[in-house]
């Protein structure tokens, strides 16, 4: 009797387990999923790989009025084009799931012809509209720099040519002039390099002039012949050979470089127009997006004249000599003159004090993922140039939470001054003050003597020597990297 009861309990347990498993199987949803790869041998043939879950049968619609019920079909299209492929996965219980994706079929020879012509094709910067800019991503391509136009500020860049030959060779011609790119030929903070913010300019393209801010020979960037590969399906352009570049030399495959590399990759898209073609070259990094537009003319008469005389930038603002100046960040109105907040880093006023939620409100300083990290403050309600003669110091209270990762973030604070209204690239002519490393998880007051800056673009210059300063900037966590972080600030005060 005891064995019989044990057997019955075992049967009951097994039945319950089976029912539970059946119920679990029934509850698993059917999910349609697939990937595809265009054949390297035949650009019209596409191999589809099925990654669907809990499916018993499949139905493919390839976007060209043909179908298949195979699990992993290979399909050959009749012509190049963009096709919407839909996979319908059906489960054992009859439930269905669909996934659709566009498949672009490109004739590699046709695409190559757009780049190289029948034998060769020469490209240069497009002189219409904005030819180059930088932003956080493609949705905001000029968020960091409004961009380069044919206005006489960098004429040498518009003269240089980039020729792609059908045989796979690539020729760069500097046309006798080169551009002193910021961060490469100047303002490089690496040990042993030149940190001076010298103005960018065109200079003679000679080997002896091609020395970067760190003393490295970068003459490989001058005129030369290299090789290239173009993947028409992905739009990837690979330039090979030491010193090969496009856009500007510092744009490398994965980020900014300061000396020649052996290979550079970018994405290109070419559009045809009447009498000319436009090539968009894109460098897409984690925190930066660089679009550069080149043009090749079949009708040379359509090319605009090159502007060689740069216009005067901006306007001179009215001057003020305040006796009270600063921002507490307690609220949007808790400031004296200095009330407009902008810049790469974000200061949100009126936030809880991290040490006491009942205390006076403070500002939350958030770094975003970009190399351009400063928060900028300007006069409000009207922009003015500020005379600092009534002040001797500037101070700010800073709180650095230990929850941040301080590598590469630093534990330092920078306060700086610059002119935005009349200096297009204000960062080339600034004055700034840098603190020592600060303690974490406590409020620290940082004070600087205005007559003793840590750095000035013009050696020995202080705010008392300038009449054009209209912007105060704050940087926390260092520069030259895109690490994010959250900090707190209060009581930016000039005395």
DSSP H helices in 117-182: 155-159
* Domain annotation covers residue 14: no
Confidence of residue 26 (pLDDT cuts 50, 70, 90): low
Report the candidate in 167, 178, 219, 218 with the shortest Cα–Cα distance to residue 202.
178
Do residues 416 and 324 share a domain?
yes
Q: Is the pLDDT of residue 253 over 80?
A: yes
Give domain status of residue 117, yes or no: yes
Residue 14 has pLDDT above 50, yes or no: no
CA pair distance 279, 235, nearest whole angstrom: 11
Q: Is residue 111 within 8 Å of residue 230, measured between CB atoms?
A: yes
Relative to beta strand 224-231, strand 236-240 is antiparallel
Q: For residues 5 and 151, which has the higher predicted lDDT (pLDDT)?
A: 151
Residue 23 has pLDDT above 60, yes or no: no
Q: In three state form, how does the secondary structure of 60-82 look?
A: EECCCCCEECCCCCEEECCCCEE
- Same structural domain, 89 and 137: no
What average pLDDT does the segment 233-242 reach? Answer: 95
Residue 25 resides in a domain: no
pLDDT computed for residue 42 by the predictor: 87
Residue 366 lies in a domain: yes
2 within a domain of the structure (yes/no): no
Contact 96, 124 (CB under 8 A): no
- Tens of pLDDT, residue by residue over 136-145, are 999 999 988 8
Query: How many domains is the chain built from?
Result: 3
Q: List the CATH number of the domain containing 462.
A: 2.60.120.430
Say if residue 43's pLDDT is above 60.
yes
374 lies in the same domain as 261: no
**228 DSSP β-pair partners:** 239
Which of 78, 105, 132 is the last residue in one of the domains?
105
Across the range 2-26, mean pLDDT stands at: 44
If asked whether residues 136 and 55 sit together in one domain, one would say no
Mean pLDDT, residues 214-229 taken together: 97
**HSE-up of residue 428 (Cα within 13 Å, Cβ side):** 14
Q: Indicate whether 129 and 95 sit together in one domain.
A: no
Same domain, 298 and 370: no
Q: Are residues 153 and 250 in the same domain?
A: yes
pLDDT at 9: 40
CA distance 241 to 262: 5
Last residue of a domain, which of 105, 128, 159? 105
Same domain, 373 and 285: no
Same domain, 212 and 261: yes
**Among 477, 152, 144, which residue's Cα sits nearest to residue 305?**
152
Percent of the chain whose predicted confidence (pLDDT) is above 90: 79
| pLDDT confidence tier of residue 128, bands split at 50, 70 and 90 | very high
Q: Are residues 99 and 118 in the same domain?
A: no
Question: How far out from the chain centre does Cα 120 lie?
Answer: 32
Say yes or no: 206 and 334 in one domain.
no
Residue 139 near residue 296, CB atoms below 8 Å: no
pLDDT grade for 269, boundaries at 50, 70 and 90: very high
Residue 106: the pLDDT is 85
Residue-wise pLDDT for 312-347, tens only, equals: 889 999 999 999 999 999 999 999 999 999 998 999
Under the banding of pLDDT at 50, 70 and 90, the label for residue 71 is very high
* Confidence (pLDDT) at 64: 96
pLDDT value at 453 more than 50: yes
Look at residue 13 and tell me whether its pLDDT is greater than 70. Answer: no
Q: What is the pLDDT of residues 72-104, one digit of tens each?
A: 999 999 988 999 999 999 999 999 999 999 999
- Please indicate, yes or no, whether residues 96 and 141 belong to a single structural domain of this protein: no
Whether residue 18 is contained in a domain is answered as no
Distance of alpha carbon 212 from alpha carbon 218, whole angstroms: 7
Secondary structure percentages of the chain, helix, strand, coil, to 5: 10, 40, 50
Q: What is the CATH number of the domain that holds 62?
A: 2.60.40.10
Residue 15 has pLDDT above 60, yes or no: no
**pLDDT per position as a tens digit, 205-219:** 999 999 999 999 999
The verdict on residue 5 lying in a domain is: no
Task: Confirm whether 15 is domain-assigned.
Answer: no
pLDDT of residue 219: 98
Q: Which of 105, 124, 150 is the last residue of a domain?
A: 105
For 80, the domain range is 34-105
User: If pLDDT is split at 50, 70 and 90, which confidence band does 7 have?
Assistant: very low
């Amino acid at each position: 009797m005891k064995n019989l009861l044990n057997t019955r309990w075992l049967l009951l347990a097994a039945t319950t387990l089976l029912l539970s498993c059946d119920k679990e199987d029934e509850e698993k949803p059917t999910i349609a999923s697939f990937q595809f790869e265009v054949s390297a041998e035949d650009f019209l043939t596409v191999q589809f790989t099925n990654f669907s879950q809990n499916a018993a049968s499949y139905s493919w619609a390839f976007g060209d009025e043909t179908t298949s019920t195979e699990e992993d079909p290979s399909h050959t299209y009749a012509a190049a084009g963009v096709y919407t492929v839909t996979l319908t996965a059906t489960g054992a219980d009859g439930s269905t799931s669909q996934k659709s994706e566009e498949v672009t079929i490109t004739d590699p020879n046709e695409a190559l012809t757009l780049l190289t012509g029948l034998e060769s094709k020469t490209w240069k910067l497009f002189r219409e509209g904005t030819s180059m800019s930088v932003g956080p991503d493609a949705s905001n391509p000029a968020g960091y720099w409004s961009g380069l136009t044919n206005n006489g500020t960098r004429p040498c860049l518009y003269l240089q040519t980039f020729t792609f030959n059908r045989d796979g060779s690539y020729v760069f011609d500097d046309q006798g002039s080169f551009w002193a790119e910021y961060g490469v030929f100047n303002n490089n903070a690496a040990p042993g390099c030149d940190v001076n913010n010298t103005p960018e300019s065109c200079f003679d393209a000679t080997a002896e002039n091609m020395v970067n801010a760190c003393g490295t020979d970068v003459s490989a960037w001058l005129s030369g012949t290299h090789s290239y590969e173009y993947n028409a399906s992905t739009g990837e352009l690979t330039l090979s050979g030491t010193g090969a570049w496009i856009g500007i030399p510092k744009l490398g495959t994965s980020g900014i470089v300061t000396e020649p590399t052996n290979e550079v990759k970018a994405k290109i898209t070419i559009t045809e127009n009447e009498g000319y073609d436009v090539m968009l070259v894109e460098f897409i990094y984690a925190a930066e997006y660089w679009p550069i537009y080149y043009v090749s003319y079949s009708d040379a008469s359509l090319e605009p004249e090159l502007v060689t005389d740069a216009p005067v930038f901006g306007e001179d603002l009215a001057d003020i000599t305040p006796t009270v100046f600063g921002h507490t960040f307690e609220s949007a109105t808790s400031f004296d003159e200095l009330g407009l907040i902008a810049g790469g880093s974000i200061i949100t006023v009126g936030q809880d004090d991290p040490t006491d939620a009942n205390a006076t409100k403070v500002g939350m300083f958030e770094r975003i993922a970009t190399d351009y990290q400063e928060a900028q403050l300007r006069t409000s309600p009207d922009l003015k140039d500020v005379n600092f003669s009534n002040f001797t110091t500037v101070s700010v209270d800073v709180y650095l939470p230990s929850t941040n990762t301080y590598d590469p973030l630093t534990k330092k604070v920078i306060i700086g001054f610059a002119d935005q209204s009349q200096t297009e690239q204000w960062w080339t002519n600034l004055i700034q003050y840098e603190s020592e490393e600060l303690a974490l998880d406590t409020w620290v007051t940082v004070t600087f003597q205005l007559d003793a800056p840590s750095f000035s673009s013009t050696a020995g210059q202080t705010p008392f020597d300038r009449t054009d300063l209209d912007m105060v900037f704050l940087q926390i966590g260092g520069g030259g990297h895109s690490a994010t972080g959250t900090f707190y600030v209060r009581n930016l005060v000039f005395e």
